[in-house]
Structure 1
C-alpha cells in the first residue's frame, strides 16, 4: 500500500486499569506501520490522568455518566472529522462508543470494523441471565453496529465459534485476525531486587503469578481454594497482582485467612513497567483459572517471557497452548485449579524448562504483535473497499 492509511480508533475509555480492550490500541500505536496514522476517540474526561498521559493522539469527548456513557458529542465529532480518516475501528460493545461510533461513521460514510473483544461470550448469558435478556432487547440497536461493519473481528477461532447464535437477529461478516502481546522489554535490572520494592515479604521463595484484574470472572476464589488444597512445595507462594475496583480483593484476603494461606499469598496491586517485567521474569509459571477470557493479554505476555501458563479451558487461546505444550490446561473449577498446580509440581526441573521453551515457541508462532498488526492492516484495507 503506497498511500498513507489514516485510522480512527473509537473506544469507551483509554484507562488501562479497565481491562485488556485498550491494550489492543496501545500495541497498535507501539507497532504502527510507517504508512499509517492513528488517532483515538474516547468518552473520557479530557482532563483525566489517563487521557493526559496517553501515549498517542487522543480526543476525549467526555466526561460521561454510567457504564453506557452517552454523549451526543461523539457522533458530532466523527461527522466533523471523518474527512481526515480512511477507516475506523470500533472497540467493544454495550456502550455509546459502539452505538455513537456506528451512528457517526454511518452518517459520515466512514467504513469501519469492530472488535467485540469477547463481549459476545455465552458465559455472560449463563452467569447473568437477566442482563442477557436486557442485552437481547438492546441488540435491536447493537446488532446493527455489527451488521453494518465491513467485518466483525474476532481474535481467535474459539471466540468466533462461541459468539455464534448468542444473540438473535442480524447477520454479520465474521473474520478472525491475530491478536498479539508485546515482546519482552529490554529492561536492565535485578528482578528480585525490583520485586522486593513491591513484594517485600516474598523474599527469594518460588511463586506462581496471577496478573490480571481482580474480578469475579477471573476465578480468583477458585484459584485460592485450589492453591490451598493442592499438594505442593511448602515454600511455593502465590502472587495476586492486579487492580480491583470493588470489595472483592478484601473478601479474597479474608478467604486466605480462613484457608490458612494468608502468609503465602501476596497482593502488590497493579504492576507496571519494570515491576511487571520483574514479576514475569521471576515467576516459575503464570496461573489464571478464568471463567471467561476472550484472549488473555497477560497469558500471551507470559508466553513471550517463556513462562508456562497454568490456565482454564475458558481462555479462548487454550487450544494453541495445549497443542504447543506451553502450559497445563484444566477446567474453571476448584478441582481444575488443583489439577494444574499439582501437574506443575509433578514435573522435573528439565520438564519445566522444556515447557518454558515451548511457551516461547507458542508465542512466536501465534501471538506476536507484528502478525496481529499485519492482520489488522489487511482488514482495514478491505474495509476501505467495502460498500
Structure 2
C-alpha cells in the first residue's frame, strides 16, 4: 500500500503522534509498503533533518491553528497517488484541510483523534470547549463524519469520545497502538544516565516522563510524593519532559513548600540514549494523568521492565492492572499516594516479578509491529460500525 500520514507538526515536543508516525512508518516500509508524511512545519525546521520518512513540509503555518494555504492544493494534486490518507489529531487546520481536499476525491481518509475527543477537556477547559462548539458543526464534525473510519487506540477512548459533543457521527474502529522495543544495552544506558545525573546513583528512582502539563497530574504527583517520602530516604523523583505550558516554576514552588525539592530532579526533555537510560535507572514509572488515550511512555517503560504506577484515566490501565504489570488508582493525590506507597513497601522479590510481567505485557500487546499489523487490517477493508452521539 501507499500510505500518506498528515499531521500539524513533527516536532517531538508536541507529544506522541509524531513519534507514532515515525516508528509506525518505518515498520510499514520494512514490511514492503510506501509511507510519506505531510506536515505544516517550516521546511527548515531542524527536527525534520533526520526524519526517516519522505516528508512534505508545507509551512510555515500561521498561529496556533496552524493555518497553511498550501495544504488543500497539495492534497488535491497528490492524494490520488496514495491508497489511504491518515489524519493524525484534531482542532488544527490539517484535519479540516484534509476534509476540504478529500471529501470529493476517491481516496479514503482515516482519522486518529489521539485522545482529543476525551470529555476531560470539556470539564477542565469549559471556555475552550465552548469555542470548540462554535467550530465543531462546520469543521471537525464533518471531518469525522466523512472519514472512512475514525481510529481509536483503545476501547475506552472510543467510548469516551462519544461524550464530548452531542452532535457526533463517525464510523469507528479500534486499532491498537504501540512503540518500538527498547534498546537492549541496558547496563551501558543506565550508566550513561547516572554519569549525567550522579546525584541519582544509589537512589530508588521513580520516573515521570512526559510533557509538564496540567492534564498529566504533575501537581498530584509532587503532593503524593511528599506524603510518602518518609517511607524511604533513598526514594527520589525524576521529572523529565518539556515545560509545554510554563508550569514548571509553579511546581518548583510547590515542591519547596512541601519540603521535597531536594528529592526531585528536573531533567527537561530527554531523548535518545538519555531517555532510555532514565528508564533503565528507574524502579518504577509514574503517570497520574487526568487524560491519556494511550500513553507511549507507559509502553516504553513496560518494555524496559519498569512497572507502571498509573491513574485509571490512562486508557491502557485495564491491561496493566489485569497483567499485574503495575498499580492503578484514581487521578487524585490520594490515588497517586496509594500507588507510590504500595510500590515503596513492596519487597524485592515482588519487584522482580512485576518487572518480568511488565516486559511480558509489552511484548504481547504494545509493540510497533502489532500496531502496524492492526492498522493494515483496518486499511485493507475491515468492516466498521457507524456510531452517533447521545
Note the alpha carbon deviations across 1:142-177, whole angstroms, 9 max, x for none.
111111111100000110111113212241111101
Name the CA shift for 1:210/1:188 in 2 (closer, same or farther; >3 Å): closer
Offset at residue 299 of structure 1 (A): 0.4
Q: Which secondary structure does the structure 2 equivalent of 1:8 belong to?
A: strand
What is the match of residue 243 of structure 1? 242
Offset at residue 180 of structure 1 (A): 0.6
Name the CA shift for 1:77/1:174 in 2 (closer, same or farther; >3 Å): same
The range that moved more, 238-247 or 37-46, is 238-247
Q: Does 1:69 align with 2:66?
A: yes
Match of 1:134 among 131, 135, 140: 131
Q: Distance in 1 between matches of 2:348 and 2:209?
A: 23
What is the match of residue 339 of structure 1? 338
Offset at residue 134 of structure 1 (A): 1.6
What is the match of residue 7 of structure 1? 3
The range that moved more, 21-30 or 104-113, is 104-113
Match of 1:85 among 82, 88, 95: 82
Q: Does 1:153 align with 2:147?
A: no
The range that moved more, 359-368 or 333-342, is 359-368
Q: Map 1:86-235 onto structure 2 (within 5 A).
A: 86-140=83-137, 141-187=139-185, 190-230=188-228, 231-235=230-234
CA contact (8 A) 2:118 2:163 kept: no
CA contact (8 A) 2:67 2:93 kept: yes
Q: Distance in 1 between matches of 2:176 and 2:121?
A: 24
Q: Which secondary structure does the structure 1 equivalent of 2:134 belong to?
A: helix
What is the match of residue 387 of structure 2? none
Match of 2:24 among 20, 25, 28: 28
Q: Distance in 1 between matches of 2:120 and 2:223?
A: 21
Match of 1:18 among 14, 18, 22: 14
Q: Which secondary structure does the structure 2 equivalent of 1:311 belong to?
A: strand
Q: Distance in 1 between matches of 2:26 and 2:33?
A: 12
Offset at residue 188 of structure 1 (A): 6.7
What is the match of residue 374 of structure 1? 373
Q: Which secondary structure does the structure 2 equivalent of 1:31 belong to?
A: helix
Q: Distance in 2 between matches of 1:9 and 1:331?
A: 35
What is the match of residue 273 of structure 1? 272
Q: Map 1:258-337 onto structure 2 (within 5 A).
A: 258-337=257-336
Q: Which secondary structure does the structure 2 equivalent of 1:190 belong to?
A: helix
Q: Distance in 2 between matches of 1:188 and 1:122?
A: 39
Offset at residue 106 of structure 1 (A): 2.0
What is the match of residue 350 of structure 1? 349
Name the CA shift for 1:138/1:186 in 2 (closer, same or farther; >3 Å): same
Note the alpha carbon deviations across 1:13-71, whole angstroms, 9 max, x for none.
00011111112201112312433101100110111111223221111111112221111
CA contact (8 A) 1:92 1:116 kept: yes
Q: Which secondary structure does the structure 2 equivalent of 1:83 belong to?
A: helix
Offset at residue 197 of structure 1 (A): 4.2
Offset at residue 215 of structure 1 (A): 0.8
Q: Distance in 2 between matches of 1:125 and 1:369?
A: 31
Q: Distance in 1 between matches of 2:312 and 2:32?
A: 39
Q: Which secondary structure does the structure 1 equivalent of 2:254 belong to?
A: helix
Structure 2 unpaired stretches of 5+: 385-390
- Structure 1: which 4+ aligned runs deviate by more than 4 Å? none
CA contact (8 A) 2:79 2:85 kept: no
What is the match of residue 58 of structure 1? 55
RMSD (Å), alpha carbons:
1.7
CA contact (8 A) 1:150 1:383 kept: no
Q: Distance in 2 between matches of 1:182 and 1:344?
A: 27
The range that moved more, 365-374 or 283-292, is 365-374
Q: TM-score, normalised by structure 2?
A: 0.94
